[in-house]
Each structure stands twice: as structure tokens, then as C-alpha cells.
Structure 1
């Protein structure tokens, strides 16, 4: 029996004001079911940033993990692109 792989997401950091926690915004482009027009869907995730290295605007990769708090189910894997 094979273990399920953990989900991964890519998003932009919109807040780093909390200690060891970042808020990441994920934008998905989906087609409207009846009109077939591309629309944006936005979802925010609270993620664990152990060393407080992220800044607002950074593009980051998250990985699913066990519950770390009431709202944190994701952790930072790496920073893909740093804001200048």
C-alpha cells in the first residue's frame, strides 16, 4: 500500500506580522461553469515559517503538514522568488 503524497501549493506572502507565521495568497484561474470565461479564485492559507525569513511579496512553496495550531495546516518549503 502506497502512502499519499503531501499536497504542495505556490503562492505570494501577503502578511508576515505574526511570529513564525505567514499568510499566503493562492490565485487559481478557472473557467466559469456556464459562461466559460476565465475567472480568478483566491484562497488564503496560514503557514509555518520557522525562522521568520519571508517578507511580504515573496513567492513561496508550501507543503501540507499536521495541524500546528487552530488555523495552520501548511509549512514553508522554500522561497522561490524574493521581493526586491
Structure 2
């Protein structure tokens, strides 16, 4: 019985969203702005369209730099705009 509850805790009914993006700003303390580019097909013209969204990400250690490629995950609201946290840094800026 105890093993079953442990597996239920790790697999959520609706898993948290995970995105990859580019750090565009690190001016705030413990917060970074990440631009996430989404490619979708236009419904009428069937052309690929890029949509960019800015997400505010919690960066506890302030180790992100502008130009880093990061993987972020959705989390509970941490402030008025911050709803994401850094999972890992995929590539450091040169």
C-alpha cells in the first residue's frame, strides 16, 4: 500500500508544462525573463508561424546570463508574474 501512494505522488494527473527558451534579461534579483518560441501552422494559409512569449522564471542562485538556453517548468505562483522555475541550463552563452 505504501509503495502505491509513492508512485501516485510522482505521476501527476496533469503533468507540469516544460518549455525550452532563451534568457533575454537578468536585471531583476532571483528572476530572469525567458523568451519561448512556439512554431504553429496558420489555420488558413498553412504557413509556419513563430510566436514568442516572455515568461518570468525563478532563478534562486542568480547564475543565469543573457543568451543562456534553459529548460523551465511550470510551478505554483511565486509572485505576481512568476510562475516558472529553472530545471536545467542546456547551453551557456558564449
Query: Which TM-score band applies after superposition, normalised by the shorter structure?
Result: over 0.9
Deviations 1:33-54 (A, max 9, x none): 1000111111110000000000
Residue 27 of structure 1 is matched in structure 2 by 37
More strand by share: 1
> Could you tell me how far apart the structure 2 residues matched to 1:28 and 1:70 are?
24
> Could you tell me how far apart the structure 2 residues matched to 1:6 and 1:44 are?
18
CA shift, 1:7, in A, is 1.1
1:50 aligned onto 2:35: no
Q: 1:36 aligns with which of 24, 33, 46?
A: 46
Q: Give the number of the structure whose alpha-carbon radius of gyration is greater.
A: 2
Q: Number of aligned residue pairs: give it.
A: 84
The alignment's TM-score, normalised by the length of structure 2, stands at 0.85
Determine which structure has greater relative contact order: mean sequence separation of CA pairs < 8 Å that are 6+ residues apart, divided by chain length: 1
More helix by share: 2
* Displacement over 4 Å in runs of 4+: none
Residue 8 of structure 1 is matched in structure 2 by 18
Residue ranges of structure 1 left out of the alignment (5+ in a row)? none
Deviations 1:37-80 (A, max 9, x none): 11111111000000000000100010111110000000011100
> Could you tell me how far apart the structure 1 residues matched to 2:88 and 2:56 are?
15
